């Protein structure tokens, strides 16, 4: 697992920066809740009557005066976008960077199969994403405990699970794309995550585009649906995981036969 350790070492700074930033923003949001709790109860009714804007973010179906309603919207966006961007960036450059940094010749000269290289790089990506989510989860629970609010464990766990699966799916898609790229991967990764986010907004606004929820991983991370239903949408999750696995399979197929320079 030498390559796994090497990738983790190389990605350490990026991991720390993204973890600190996402964790800090989530913690600040939770700490702000007691100050805003009274005001939010009235704001919820106002948001519910604002039409398409609130529908896009699911704010018309959540009570901002409750911790889980506030957390699902404010913290959910931070974790969804922040975690999605990190997972995409982490995966999209992992294979192509060898060509970009001119280290492919050195790596491939070792008695290690390309399949093993792909597997160890994939493991490194999954370790980083899992570690980020575990740290963020601990920080969220800790901050809720510090403000003295009762923790809605079921909804909290479902929300974090949904965003973890979202990151795994985006990583799978970007991992597959990485096998085709030679440079300029960061913009591609961020673009994929941003596109998926806006597809979900469009699906929330227009009924005719509701099918997009089955394409974007943000569809099964909708805080309003998770809180009101008390579960994840199994069909959407299954499709999302299938897309992520397909992306990973494409990476194996392409990279094992790729002419790497």
pLDDT tens by residue, 186-244 = 788 889 999 998 898 888 887 788 888 899 999 999 888 888 888 999 999 999 999 99
Residues counted in the chain = 261
Asked if 65 and 149 touch (Cβ cutoff 8 Å), the reply is: no
pLDDT-based confidence at residue 176 (cuts at 50, 70, 90): very high
For position 60, what pLDDT does the model report? 61
Query: Mean of the per-residue pLDDT values for the chain?
Result: 84
For position 25, what pLDDT does the model report? 92
Flag whether pLDDT at 51 surpasses 60: no
Contacts 24+ apart (CB under 8 A), 142-148: 143/26, 143/27, 143/30, 143/31, 144/30, 144/67, 146/31, 147/30, 147/31, 147/33, 147/34, 148/34
pLDDT-based confidence at residue 148 (cuts at 50, 70, 90): confident
Flag whether pLDDT at 179 surpasses 80: yes
Number of CB atoms found within 10 A of residue 195's CB: 11
* Placement of tokens 């896009």 in the chain: 56
Asked if 56 and 204 touch (Cβ cutoff 8 Å), the reply is: yes
Flag whether pLDDT at 64 surpasses 80: no
Which structure tokens are listed for 137?
């989860």
- The average pLDDT across 98-111 equals 58
| C-alpha to C-alpha distance for 188 and 190, rounded to whole angstroms | 6
pTM of the predicted model as reported, rounded to 2 decimal places? 0.89
pLDDT, greater one: 26 or 50: 26
pLDDT tens by residue, 115-138 = 888 899 999 999 999 999 999 999
Number of CB atoms found within 10 A of residue 120's CB: 17
For position 97, what pLDDT does the model report? 74
Express the helix, strand and coil content of the chain in percent, nearest 5 each.
80, 0, 20
CA distance to 73, 91, 142, 144, 190, per residue, from 148 (Å): 20, 38, 10, 7, 37
| C-alpha to C-alpha distance for 1 and 250, rounded to whole angstroms | 23
Which structure tokens are listed for 54?
């609130």
* Placement of tokens 């699906």 in the chain: 203
- The average pLDDT across 167-189 equals 86
Flag whether pLDDT at 53 surpasses 60: no
Name residues whose C-beta falls within 8 Å of residue 245's C-beta, 6 or more positions apart in sequence: 172
Domain residue ranges in the chain:
2-256
For position 109, what pLDDT does the model report? 55
Q: What is the DSSP letter of 73?
A: I
| C-alpha to C-alpha distance for 170 and 119, rounded to whole angstroms | 17
């Amino acid at each position: 697992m030498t390559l796994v350790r090497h990738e983790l070492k190389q990605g350490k700074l990026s991991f720390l920066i993204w973890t600190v930033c996402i964790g800090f923003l989530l913690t600040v949001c939770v700490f702000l809740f007691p100050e805003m709790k009274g005001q939010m109860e009235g704001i919820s009714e106002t948001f519910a009557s604002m039409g398409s804007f609130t529908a896009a973010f699911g704010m018309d179906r959540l009570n901002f005066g409750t911790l889980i309603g506030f957390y699902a919207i404010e913290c959910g966006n931070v974790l969804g976008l922040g975690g999605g961007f990190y997972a995409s960036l982490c995966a999209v450059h992992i294979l192509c960077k060898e060509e970009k940094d001119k280290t492919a010749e050195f790596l491939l000269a070792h008695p290690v199969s390309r399949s093993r290289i792909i597997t160890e790089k994939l493991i490194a990506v999954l370790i980083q994403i899992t570690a980020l989510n575990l740290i963020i989860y601990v920080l969220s629970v800790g901050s809720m405990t510090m403000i003295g609010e009762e923790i809605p464990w079921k909804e909290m766990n479902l929300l974090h699970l949904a965003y973890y699966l979202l990151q795994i799916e985006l990583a799978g898609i970007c991992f597959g794309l990485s096998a085709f790229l030679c440079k300029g991967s960061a913009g591609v990764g961020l673009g994929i995550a941003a596109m998926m986010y806006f597809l979900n907004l469009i699906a929330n606004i227009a009924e005719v585009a509701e099918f997009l929820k089955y394409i974007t991983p943000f569809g099964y991370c909708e805080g309003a649906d998770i809180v009101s239903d008390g579960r994840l949408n199994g069909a959407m999750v299954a499709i999302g995981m299938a897309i992520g696995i397909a992306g990973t399979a494409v990476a194996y197929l392409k990279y094992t036969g790729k002419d790497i320079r």
